[in-house]
Amino acid sequence: PNGTELLIHTMAFSDGRGNKYLLEAGAPYEQVERVLHGLLLSLGIAFPLIVAVAIGGGYLLMRNALKPLDEIATTAERITSRNLNERVPVLATGDELETLAGSLNQMMARLEESFHHVNRFSADAAHEIRTPLAIIRGELESAFQTPGLAAGLRETIGSALEEAERL
């Protein structure tokens, strides 16, 4: 009536007796537009802030979640054949990271044991080879000092002595 625009919502309604009614509700369009404008402004300012907080929070969460993996990787990179007794940290988290760290430590223990077996075998083999080589060298030296030995034979024995010494 006074030239103000109205926003009207109309809805059909029927009661239990079958009578049909048309319900209409209205509000001045200016009030609705003011509320919508306020919401749009709030969203325009709040949305970038919410996204920034979500990105920052996600980054911090992921960094904290991946920190144990970084520690495991750093420790694993430091382990060499010289320090096989070092182990990766096992955090009691009850998840796959704990299982992974435990498995890596068990693998390192098996590797360490294998290296000890190889070293023991090498030491035993070297010890077992030294005794026969010492006997061969002694016999060759004795044969080399035999008087009246042919020059070709003396050269062959000398060559065999050099190889026995090298071994």
Query: For 36-71, how does the pLDDT look when each residue is reduced to its tens digit (9 = 90+)?
Result: 999 999 889 999 999 999 999 999 999 888 888 888
Q: How far is CA 159 from CA 73, 153, 155, 166, in A?
A: 53, 10, 6, 11
Residue 102 φ/ψ region, left for φ over 0, alpha for ψ in the -120 to 50 degree band, beta for the rest: alpha
- Residue 101 CA from chain centroid, whole number: 10
Residue 60, phi then psi, degrees to nearest 5: -65, -40
Residue with tokens 């404008």: 37
Residue 154 has pLDDT above 70, yes or no: yes
pTM to 2 decimals? 0.51
24 secondary structure, DSSP code: E
